Amino acid sequence: MHRPFRDVYGEWRAMQELYKEGRVKAIGASNFQPDRIIDLIIHNEIVPAINQIETHPFHQQIEAQKFLQQNNVQIESWGPFAEGKNNLFQNELLASTGKKYNKSIAQVVIRWLIQRSVIAIPKSVRKERMKENFDVFDFELNATDMESIKTLETNASLFFDHRDPAMVKWLGERKLSV
């Protein structure tokens, strides 16, 4: 499910049936904050396999990730590169970290997510960038670098807040796929 709005129980139960019938291998959610995930879990039979939420160096979702882990839900990064916002690809800390390992900023971010056990599927249409994005398994960020990236946290979405009533109303007034 794409968002925690509309008939989430009906949608989830339909997905549970597909899962039980073996027509899908896993079912999950996207953009569900911990309160919405736990509500979904306690009112249904099957726990979401995954929850895709905005996760990148500027919005790290550390507490949400802990909650998801405690409830056996895998976190997946939505927007691992923050869509380039906050000048991610010019960030001095990420650039100096990359230089240390002879890696790009993108590779540092992907590696940082992997080391946090966050699934990252970065979007790219360029073959050379896709190749670069896979070239992250020959190095590991040390503990100091992992801690330094924590300092980039802003504790705010760079896009929009799914708990903001005005945003929920705006989304509800549009014909969006779920």
Domains and CATH numbers, the chain: 8-170 (3.20.20.100)
On the question of pLDDT at 176 being above 60, the answer is no
Please name the amino acid found at residue 161: D
Number of helical (H) and strand (E) elements in the chain, helices listed first: 8, 4
**φ, ψ of residue 110 in degrees (nearest 5):** -60, -45
User: CB-hemisphere CA count at 13 Å for 114?
Assistant: 18
CA terminus-to-terminus distance, the chain:
6
24-81 per-position pLDDT tens digit:
999 999 999 999 999 999 999 999 999 999 999 999 999 999 999 999 999 999 999 9
Q: Given this model, what pLDDT does residue 110 score? A: 98
What DSSP character marks residue 29? E
126-151 per-position pLDDT tens digit:
999 999 999 999 999 999 999 999 99
Average pLDDT over all residues of the chain: 93
Q: Given this model, what pLDDT does residue 175 score? A: 64
Q: Which residues pair with 77 in a beta bridge?
A: 53, 120
Q: Residue ranges of the alpha helices (H) in the chain?
A: 8-20, 34-42, 62-70, 92-101, 105-115, 127-134, 143-150, 165-172
